Amino acid sequence: MIDLPIPRNDIDGLCADLDQSGYCLVERWLEPDAVSQAVTAIHRQANQTVPEPDRLADVEDWVIRDGDQWVLLLVLESELDHLITHRPALDLARHLLGQSIHLSGFSAHVVHPGNQVMELHTDQWWLPRPTMPGTEPFRPGDASRSVAYFGSPDPAGHPINPAAVINVMWALTDFSEASGGTRLVPGSHLSGVEPDPSVAWNVVHAEVPAGGAVIWDARTWHASGANTGNSARIGVTATYCAQQFRQLQNHTAAIKPGDYGALSDEMKQLLGFRLFSSYGATDSFEAEFSRPGFLREML
């Protein structure tokens, strides 16, 4: 029986919880002012009915389904960007994934009262599983959400994939069982399989105050909970992936020409502009950062 993570702020303890349980809980990394500014930014984006034409991207900007609201592509929102480059959060991400990482996605998940509970899942279902020579291979190009390998959440007795992704979900309101805090299956990151949705697995409910965070290894079985309260639960997730994986949101395409020049090298790296041994090139294979075609003409 493992000790379940409790909310804390020290990196060593958080790393140990992440390794052991597949998730960790941050008690408070954000001051109340930063929380309220972030909430204002989320409301500003979420309450619009059409995407601002001069904002980032030509993608569906929010989706509300069964009480779940996603506010997508939040990069370059001034009240939120500091969450992406938050040093301890990046330290934890690099502890799990290694040094060269990208921001895979940056979105708010607003869980409204009376929402429909999400099914447990992992966030790297697309990564081919190790297979024994001579057995039917998992073809990477056939990966889809409907091709899942179910099993128990116990540690596998055979090699499994490393974590390729980590989620840092910032709590902008209190997370509790009643507010729809993230549900997690401790230890399931070592199972190498996905949760069978027809089974009622034992879960823990992440409980952290506003200003804290829930951080999980993408292999960990998880989902949001049921909000039985009377106000929305707001989380903002910075998802990081190792540099060789495709990002959830296409940040390199979403950046406006005028914004590219103002990005710090760290932000260019995180958004996916830094070349990885020629991968991601748009012009010279030797360039440090790639530039989309329209930027090559402008800069």
- Determine contact, residues 243/101, Cβ cutoff 8 Å: yes
Size of the site for ligand AKG (CB under 6 A): 9
From 93-101, 139-147, 220-228, 285-293, span contacting ligand AKG (CB under 6 A): 220-228
Range list of β-strands (E), 72-189: 101-111, 165-171, 183-184
- The DSSP element (H or E) to which 95 belongs, if any, is helix 87-97
What are 38's two structure tokens? Answer: 């972030």
Minimum distance from CB of 105 to ligand AKG (Å)? Answer: 8
Q: How far is the CB of 111 from ligand AKG (least distance, A)?
A: 6
**150: nearest Cα among 185, 182, 181:** 185
Nearer to ligand AKG, 182 or 290 (CB): 182
Instruction: From 94-102, 132-140, 147-155, 216-224, give the range in contact with ligand AKG by CB under 6 A.
Output: 216-224
In this complex, which beta carbon is closest to ligand AKG, that of residue 173 or of residue 224? Answer: 224
Q: Which is nearer to ligand AKG, 247 or 290 (CB)?
A: 247
217 lines the binding site for ligand AKG (CB under 6 A): no
Nearest distance from residue 172's CB to ligand AKG, in Å?
12
Parallel, antiparallel, or unpaired: how do β-strands 62-65 and 68-71 relate?
antiparallel
3-state secondary structure of 167: strand
Judged by CB under 6 A, which of 109, 189, 251, 291 binds ligand AKG? 109
- Rounded to a whole number of angstroms, the CA Rg of the chain reads 19
Q: Interface residues for ligand AKG in 241-280 (CB under 6 A)?
A: none
Nearest to 164 by CA among 135, 129, 113, 115: 129
What pairing do the DSSP bridges indicate for beta strands 23-26 and 204-205? unpaired
Site string for ligand AKG, 229-248 (x = CB under 6 A): ------x-x-----------
Q: Which residues pair with 178 in a beta bridge?
A: none
Closest Cα to residue 59, out of 255, 290, 236, 282? 255
Match 């999400």 to its residue by tokens.
118
Judged by CB under 6 A, which of 223, 250, 282, 289 binds ligand AKG?
A: 223
Per CB under 6 A, 123 contacts ligand AKG: yes
Cα→Cα distances 130→48, 140, 159, Å: 44, 11, 7
Cβ distance 221 to 186 under 8 Å?
no
Report the greatest alpha carbon distance in the chain.
59
Smallest gap from Cβ 175 to ligand AKG, in A, equals 8
CB 103 → ligand AKG: shortest distance, Å?
14
Q: Which of 239, 223, 184, 226 shows the shortest CA–CA distance to 206?
A: 184
Query: Is 46 a binder of ligand AKG (CB under 6 A)?
Result: no
Cβ-based nearer residue to ligand AKG, 176 or 269: 176
Q: Which of 102, 189, 219, 222 binds ligand AKG (CB under 6 A)?
A: 222
Question: Smallest distance, Å, CB 120 to ligand AKG?
Answer: 8
**69/290 with CB nearer ligand AKG:** 69
Contact residues for ligand AKG (CB under 6 A)? 109, 118, 123, 182, 222-224, 235, 237
